[in-house]
Amino acid sequence: MLTIASTGWVAGLVVGVVVIAVAAVIVTMIVALAMRIVRQAKTAEEAVEVVREQTADLDGVARINDSGVRILHAARALRKVAVGR
């Protein structure tokens, strides 16, 4: 009877150690994935800054479009005068 009780205690201890080991592996994997996400987020943030710098010069596009529309209207008006329509 004493042997059975001792065996149960050892089995419980082994199961406890296995559960703790599995939990430690899961936590380690979560931390590793979190660190990977942090690195990817930093890379994405840097890329966004590069894109922002590259597109900051496009503020004059509206003015260029406005000039193009004015030229188009002037060309149409000249065509109407030249053709007579």
Residue 37 structural domain: 2-83
pLDDT digits 0-9 by tens, 61-77? 778 888 889 999 999 88
Calculate the alpha carbon distances from 63 to 30, 48, 67, 68 in Å. 51, 25, 6, 9
How many domains would you assign to the chain?
1
pLDDT digits 0-9 by tens, 2-60? 566 667 778 888 999 999 999 999 999 999 999 999 999 999 999 999 888 887 776 67
Give the predicted TM-score (pTM) of the model.
0.54
